[in-house]
Amino acid sequence: MKRETYIKMTQPFRDNPDLAKGIHIANKLCTGVMYLAYPLLLVYLFFFGKYSSYFSFWRALFVPAISFVLLSVFRSMVNRPRPYEKFELQPVIKKDTKGHSFPSRHVFSATIIAMTFILHSPWSWLGLIFLAVSILLAVVRVVSGVHYISDVVAGIVVAILAAVLGYLVLY
């Protein structure tokens, strides 16, 4: 992404306090919904057991957890600068983290939670809604200037692959 593209994409949100506030709220809501839903699913599965022969609490816990750790190690090794660092501009969402942009861990986490609901919960329809929330979060993270498009796309793709492969391996 070029500096001009980044500025064109984020400037309306930096210029308008109401839009900036909306982006900040959307970021918090998307993140909060996903991180509340996942522990609730785990609690349900722990106390009420399997809903079918191919699902268990432990898979729902370990596939996202192991994938998250592996993604975090990879991010540290790559240590890609964030757009606001590279272009020396203020992001819409207050953030001062240096590096660790690729792939987006927020988007990865939201997507793997959505995939857990889709593939292994009694509420797969809710997983589809959460997948839409993940995509909204990806858009928010890009237009707020804290991630590149490639960061969020990689987060989504890696989460989908990790979920499918992880749940197949632990079948």
Give 40-89 as a DSSP string: HHHHHHHHH--SSTT--HHHHHHHHHHHHHHHHHHHHHH-PPPHHHHTT-
Q: Which residues have a Cβ under 8 Å from the Cβ of 20 and sit 6 or more positions away?
A: 13, 14, 92
Global pTM value: 0.93
Angle of CA points 120, 32, 29, to nearest 5°: 120
CA separation for the pair 51, 31 (Å, rounded): 27
Mean pLDDT, residues 35-49 taken together: 89
> What does pLDDT average to over the chain?
91
Q: How confident is residue 170, by pLDDT bands cut at 50, 70 and 90?
A: low
DSSP states of 143-161: HTTSS-HHHHHHHHHHHHH
Other C-beta atoms lying within 10 Å of the C-beta of residue 131: 20
Q: Which pLDDT value is given to residue 171?
A: 64
Q: What is the pLDDT of residue 148?
A: 95
| 1-10, 33-42, 79-88, 152-161, range with the lowest pLDDT | 1-10
d(CA 105, CA 100): 9
Q: Which helix (H) or strand (E) holds 167?
A: helix 149-169
Q: Which residues contact 109 (CB under 8 A, 6 or more apart)?
A: 34, 35, 64, 68, 159
